[in-house]
Amino acid sequence: MKKLFVTIIVCFVLIFKSFADEGMWLPMLLGQQVYDDMVKKGLKLTKDQLYNINKPSIKDAIIIFGSGCTGEIVSAEGLTFTNHHCGYDAVASASTMDHNYLRDGFYAKNKGEEIPSNLSVQFLLRIDDVTKEVLDSLKGLSGVERVQRQSVVLAAINKRMSDASQSIETRVSPLFKGNQFLAFVYQRYNDIRLVGVPPESVGKFGGDTDNWEWPRHTGDYSVWRVYMSADGKPAKYAETNVPLKPKWFLPVSIKPLKDGDFSMIYGYPGSTNRYETSYGVSLSTSINNPTLVKLRDVRLKFMFEEMKKDPAIKLQLASSYAGIANYWKFYDGETKQLLKYDIWGQKRKAEEKFIAWAKGKPEYSNIFSDWEKAYNAWLPYAKHRVYIIEGIFGSPLMAFASSLTQVETALVKQGATQADLKKAIMSANDQRKAFMEAENKISDQNIVAAVTKMFYEDIVKDQQPVGFYGNLKNTYGPLDDEATYKKYAADIFSKTMLFDDAKWNAFMAHPDANTLQGDPAYAYASAYYNNYVSKYLPYYQQFTAKNSEFGRLYLKGIMEMDPAKAKMMYPDATFTMRVSYGAVKSYRPRDAVFYDYVTTSQGILEKYIAGDYEFDLPAKQIELLKKKDFGQYMDPTRKDLVICFITTNDITGGNSGSPVMNNKGELIGLAFDGNYEALSHKMAFDKDLNRTINVDIRYVLWCIDKLGGGTNIINELKLMR
C-alpha cells in the first residue's frame, strides 16, 4: 500500500495542465511544479505563506462559513466577509416587519449593535494523511461491504481525532474516488454576529434573471464578526465574549485591476465529478437534470405567486426560494452545456482508450462492461428517485410528515422503549415548530396537488404506491383532471392534525399509531416513502456501491495506464480547503461577442428599474451613482466605480464568499457565481469559457461606507492603495 500512496502523491499533485487555469489544489500538497507555475503567472508569496501548520499563513484567514460557504477574516478583530446569500437565512431570521434587515440593510455603528446569529464558522487547523490506515482496513473488500466498512473506519478516525471540549472536529475526506484519504481537523466557533449587510435589492440585484450570467452588477456581500471567550477559546454566545484575535487576516486592496492580472482563490468548493463516465453524463442529461428542473419549476411558480402578494410572505419564503431557484437554473444550464460541447463523446473517447489498454489486465479488463450493467439495472428507477426528493418531499408539509416515521417506529416497533418514544416525540415537536414558522400553506397545497398529478403521469404504473391512485380516483375524481388533485390536496391541508395545535398537542400528550397513520398528511407521505424505501432504495444502494467501486478502480487504472499524460489529476471538490489560481480575464463567448473583465456603475444605472422585483435599488444609491460620488473607491482608469469582475479561476458551489486575492495575497473581491457558458464545470472544465464572477471589493467598501454609513467598518480594515 505504501507504493500506491507514493504513486498517488506524485501523479495527482504534480501533473497538471499548464495551459489552463483548471485545478482545485490541496494547499497541503501543492506540488513544486504547480507552485512554480503560480510564480510564473505572477504570485509573490512563498509556499509557507500559502499553507503552514506551524506558523500563521493565509489558510488561517479562510473559514467554513455556516454550513456550505466560505468566508475570510479581514481584520485583527475577527471581522469577516462572505457573500450576501451565505448569510441570507440568518439575516432573514433576525428580521421582522418592523426591523426588516433583509429589505433595508443594516450596519452596526459599534460592536454593541452587532446582532447575534445561529451561525458558526470553522478554522482549518491541519490536514493529516490517513490513507494507509484506511486502505489497510479495506483489504479484500468490494461493493457494499467495502462501502459499509469504510464508513465505520472513517467514523472511528473522526471520533479519535476530535475533541468536543476544545470544539475540535475532524472529518476524513475520501479523495480521488477513494484512492486517498485525508483527515481535515477544524476548530468551530459558535458566536458569530452580524455587522453589516446591504439591502436585498443590492445583495441580490438582478435576481434570477442575472443568476449565472455575465455581465453582473450584484453586491453579493455581508459582514460578520467572530467572537471568542475572554480567555481566547471558542464559546457559545455571551455578552462577556470578545472579538477573535486571528492568526492571519487579509489586507484589502483598492488598487485598480488590469486584464491579465494574477488572481488566486482560497475556499471550500463543495463537489465536482470531473472523473465522471459517459454513463453518468448520459444519466444526468437524459433523466436526473431535466426531471429536477421540471419539478423545481413547479415549486418556484407557486411560491413566487404568493411572494408577490405580500411582503411578509416574501420575507418568510425568501431563503427557501433562493436556494431552490439557484440550482434550478444551474442544472438546466449544465444539461445544455454538456450536450452542446458533447461531453459524453469526450468521455467516451477516453474510456475506449482505457478499455483497449485494460485488455489482459484482470483488475481492469471488465470494469466498463460491469459498469454498464450497473447503470442499466438502475436506469428504470432513476426518475422515481428524483420525484421523491424534488417532488413529493419538495413539499414542506410532506417533508415534515415523512420525518414522523421515527415516531411511528417508536410506537409500533417491537422492543421500542418509552425513552425511545419520548425522544421521538420531543424531536417531532421541535421540528414542527420550525416547519410552522417557514410554512406557507397556499403555495405548499398547490405544490402537493401539482406533483401528485405529475408523479402519476411521469412514473410508470408498476412503481406507484399500490392502491394509492385507485383510491384517489374513487374518492376525488378522474386521474387526468387537475381538479381531482386540487380537491385531494385541499382535503389533506384542511384535515391534517399537523396544522391544528389542539389536535397536535393531544397527540403529543397521548401518542398512538392509529391516530398518526390515519392522519391524511402522514398517510400521503408514508405511502410514497414506504413504497420507495422498501422497493427501490435497495437498488439505489447497490448501484452507488458498484459505481463507487468501479470509479475507484478506473481512476487507479488511469494512473497506471499513462501517468505522464494523465489529465486533470487533482482531487474532485469535497468541501475541503482548496486553492485555485488564474487571471482577471475578458472573454468571447460566441462569434462577434466580447465580454469585458469588469462591470461598472454605468451598467447598474442601465439595468435599474424603479419598483421592479429584481432590478430596483435604494434611491440613495441611484443618487450617489448619478453624482459619481465614488470617493477613494473610484477606478482611476475608468473614472467609474467597478462593480464586479471575472477571473479564470476554477471554483464551484461552496466557494461562495471565497476571497479573490492578488499576487500579494491582498483581497480584491468575493467570488459568488460562475458564467452560464461553462455550467458543465462540475463534470468538465472549459479552459476557454470558464469564468468566476466576483463582486469587486471596492464596490463592497463603497456600499458599506457611502451607502451604509459604516465608516467604522472601513477604519478597521488594512487598506492597500
Provide the annotated active-site residues. Answer: 85, 220, 656
Which cell numbers hold the place of 9?
502523491
Q: Distance (Å, rounded) from C-alpha 388 to C-alpha 401?
A: 14
Nearby residues of 412 by Cβ (< 8 Å), 6 or more positions away: 513
List the one residue out of 538, 539, 550, 534 whose CA is nearest residue 376: 539
Coil vs helix vs strand at 584: strand
- Cell 504570485 appears where? 43
Q: What burial letters (b/e) apply to 48-82, b meaning 16+ CB within 10 Å?
A: ebbbbeeeebbbbbbbbbbeebbbbbbbebbbbbb
Strand pairing category for 252-253 and 719-720: parallel
Give the distance from CA 79 to its chain's centroid.
23
Q: Around Cβ 678, how many Cβ atoms within 10 Å?
A: 24
Which 3 state secondary structure label does DSSP give 104?
helix
Give me the residue label for grid cell 486571528.
246
What are the grid coordinates assigned to 391, written together?
Answer: 417532488
- The whole-angstrom separation of Cα 251 and Cα 20 is 28
Closest CA to 398 of 469, 449, 329, 336: 449
Residues 454 and 451: their CA atoms lie apart, in Å, by 5
CB 137 within 8 A of CB 155: no
Cα–Cα dist 635/721, whole Å: 12
- Cβ contact 614:209 at 8 Å: yes
Helix runs in 396-519, H state only: 396-403, 405-412, 418-438, 441-458, 468-476, 482-495, 501-509, 513-518
CA proximity to 528, closest of 540, 536, 518, 539: 536
CB 363 within 8 A of CB 4: no
> Long-range contacts: 96-104, Cβ < 8 Å, 24+?
97/311, 97/312, 97/315, 100/311, 100/315, 101/194, 101/197, 102/197, 102/200, 102/315, 102/318, 103/199, 103/200, 103/201, 103/311, 103/315, 104/199
φ, ψ at 285 (rounded to 5°)? -75, -25
CB atoms inside a 10 Å sphere around CB 129 = 15
Q: Give bridge partners of residue 267 from the DSSP assignment.
A: 578
> For residues 63 and 486, what is the distance between their CA atoms, to the nearest angstrom?
47
C-alpha cell at 120: 458558526
Q: State in Å, rounded, how far the first CA of the chain is from the last one.
A: 52
CA–CA separation, 197 vs 195, rounded Å? Answer: 7
- Residues in CB range of 160: below 8 A, 6 or more apart: 170
| AA identity, residue 706 | K
